Structure 1
Amino acid sequence: MVLASMSGPRVELARAKVNLALHVTGRRPDGYHLIDSLVAFPQIGDRVALEPAPGLDVKLEGPFARDLAGPTDDNLVLKALRRFCEKAGIALPDVQLTLTKRLPVASGIGGGSSDAATTLRLMEDFTGIYLPEDDMHALALSLGADVPVCLFPEPQRMCGIGDELSTAPALPACGIVLVNPKVGVSTPEVFAALDKRDNAALPLLPERFETLAQLAAYLEGCRNDLQAPAAGLCPQIGSVLTALEADGRIELARMSGSGATCFGLCERSNAMDIERSLRADHPDWWIASGPLT
């Protein structure tokens, strides 16, 4: 087999996955929760690079690399590479996979899932082997419930356990500020603390969101059903939301996923200034900003 040519490293931004709304709509007999969620992928994320090397190697770097627990062989990007090769029926390639971890680990914004999905896309480009869509979806799902949605980092609606995906309305050109208090939250504990698991699905989605005001108005009628239980377990989430809501330039603030990262939506021109203000007041928090799409 001849691999696709590659003169230098292939590099992709593994974008954060932000749940703009997340409704818990039920629970399966096997314990998995059912959700209905509107997901966006801002221009904020980790960096994944793939380049030829004398042998297979994974390099972890960046401010949050030290938080990736366990040996390198257990890292999700390496699992994604190995399973792609198994599915494609090829030998492991001689490459160096470099993950620059810029997103906090286990923070409700799908960093690990996005890293894995990005690795799968890079492997397709590197090998020239493009798996059928259903096969790639199944491969991604085998790595985690959030990996399939990260294969196509564009606005999507997630249902089921996260495996039922559909294209979401186009989002307006606006900005987003992500804030994490650098405090861990246990996803199983958050789900266990839920009072109600059979909530209503998302309201009817429009064909597109023309403006930030229209998007914020729609989201006001939605929720993150995990926000209250997560804030009960981690009071710092409430502090982050209070800080975001105190800035009049932010149209809507909410927690993403199971926490503890929260987001604020704003005009794109205000995002960097809001980030700077928050950094000045809260130097111990992780804060990032960028375009929503």
Structure 2
Amino acid sequence: MKASSGFAPAKINLSLHVTGQRADGYHLLDSLVVFADVGDRLTFQPDSKLGIDVSGPFSQGVPDDSRNSVWQAAQAVGWSGRIAIEKNLPNGAGIGGGSADAAAFLRYFAQGDVAIDSEIALRLGADVPVCLSELPQRMRGIGENIAAVAGLPKLHMVLVNPRVALPTPAVFKALQVRENAPMETLPVEAGEEAVFNWLSEQRNDLETPAIAVQPVICSVLAALADARINRMSGSGATCFGLYATANEAAQAAARITHDFPEWWVIATTTVASRPS
């Protein structure tokens, strides 16, 4: 039985609007999601018994049992074997993490005309459905309403995480306004400059409550102040800065690493939409 590999790219919420809350407590979102060329790496080896091995710079604290989202994904589809996860992304950082890993397993399992059950994906986590593809997408509802976004160019960015814990429930608990305006229509056909202008007018409604829980996010955003756009991703604490070129992003990453050596900092490029 040959082992297969998978990649779980970092998920970046370029915008995240909280548009309401359902009676069951789930929040309604409207978000533009892209994926970067950095992420976790996984290896799958079919076997008679399910097991997980975790390694990498962010392996500490990652469960290797039924608490792991990849384990849960494998159980949900009745697969057994050894799964090796190389954790290269910070945990609980607003950039996919366990959801991206679970989606990577589901993509592996779906090879050979096996359809991915969208309900299973959503049960594993609100971000799992959007992480099933590496292409830019608009995510709405509680994560189940996914639509591809055409014409979005690749973007050069710096990701910065101050290595602090930021549980998502704590951020939503600190959210004061839960019914906000959705995103406007993305003007992708108007060119890259129009995309930047549009993004500058969008927001992340979780940024303010996240700062209330972890004020260091203000320092992260300040470190990215030279970017064309700087914003928090997801429920944090990772923030991104968008730059005009890869060279500018690399220079910014080097500067921030020098000034804040304890932070996780990386320059990356996002995946563009496929031509229509």
Q: 1:244 and 2:228 equivalent?
A: no
CA shift for structure 1 position 220: 1.2
Residue-pair matches, total? 270
Of 120, 142, 149 in structure 1, the residue corresponding to residue 106 of structure 2 is 120
Task: Give the equivalent residue in structure 2 for 1:219.
Answer: 199
In the alignment, the residues of structure 2 paired with residue 281 and residue 155 of structure 1 have an alpha-carbon distance, to the nearest angstrom, of: 32
Which deviations, in whole Å up to 9, do the C-alpha atoms of 1:105-136 show, x marking residues without a partner? Answer: 111111110000000111222xx3512x5xx2
Q: 1:184 and 2:178 equivalent?
A: no
In the alignment, the residues of structure 2 paired with residue 203 and residue 210 of structure 1 have an alpha-carbon distance, to the nearest angstrom, of: 16
Task: Give the equivalent residue in structure 1 for 2:88.
Answer: 102
TM-score (norm 2): 0.92
In the alignment, the residues of structure 2 paired with residue 188 and residue 73 of structure 1 have an alpha-carbon distance, to the nearest angstrom, of: 21
CA shift for structure 1 position 278: 1.2
Task: Give the equivalent residue in structure 2 for 1:11.
Answer: 5
CA contact (8 A) 1:227 1:255 kept: yes
Aligned with 2:36: secondary structure? Answer: coil
CA shift for structure 1 position 72: 2.0
CA shift for structure 1 position 289: 1.9
In the alignment, the residues of structure 2 paired with residue 142 and residue 159 of structure 1 have an alpha-carbon distance, to the nearest angstrom, of: 16
Q: 1:232 and 2:216 equivalent?
A: no
CA contact (8 A) 1:244 1:253 kept: yes
In the alignment, the residues of structure 1 paired with residue 106 and residue 84 of structure 2 have an alpha-carbon distance, to the nearest angstrom, of: 14
Aligned with 1:40: secondary structure? Answer: strand
Counterpart AA for 1:124: A
CA shift for structure 1 position 48: 1.1
Of 266, 270, 274 in structure 2, the residue corresponding to residue 292 of structure 1 is 270
Instruction: Give the alignment of 1:104-183 within 5 angstroms.
Output: 104-125=90-111, 128=112, 130-131=114-115, 136-183=117-164
Higher helix share: 1
CA shift for structure 1 position 208: 4.0
In the alignment, the residues of structure 2 paired with residue 209 and residue 151 of structure 1 have an alpha-carbon distance, to the nearest angstrom, of: 28
Task: Give the equivalent residue in structure 1 for 2:69.
Answer: 76
CA shift for structure 1 position 207: 3.9
Larger Cα-atom Rg: 1
Q: 1:273 and 2:251 equivalent?
A: yes
Pair 226,153 (structure 1): closer, same or farther in 2 beyond 3 Å: same
Structure 1: 5+ residue stretches without partners: 1-5, 86-91
Aligned with 1:67: secondary structure? Answer: coil
CA contact (8 A) 1:174 1:292 kept: yes
CA shift for structure 1 position 52: 4.5
Query: Share of identical aligned residues, percent?
Result: 43
CA contact (8 A) 1:172 1:209 kept: no
In the alignment, the residues of structure 2 paired with residue 224 and residue 34 of structure 1 have an alpha-carbon distance, to the nearest angstrom, of: 13
CA shift for structure 1 position 55: 4.5
What value does the CA root-mean-square deviation take over the aligned residues? 1.7
Q: 1:44 and 2:38 equivalent?
A: yes
In the alignment, the residues of structure 1 paired with residue 160 and residue 210 of structure 2 have an alpha-carbon distance, to the nearest angstrom, of: 15
Task: Give the equivalent residue in structure 1 for 2:231.
Answer: 254
Counterpart AA for 2:255: S
CA shift for structure 1 position 53: 5.2
CA contact (8 A) 1:203 1:221 kept: no
CA shift for structure 1 position 209: 6.3
Counterpart AA for 1:276: A
Counterpart AA for 1:51: Q
CA contact (8 A) 1:169 1:206 kept: no
Of 241, 246, 250 in structure 2, the residue corresponding to residue 264 of structure 1 is 241
Aligned with 2:228: secondary structure? Answer: strand
Structure 2: 5+ residue stretches without partners: 272-276
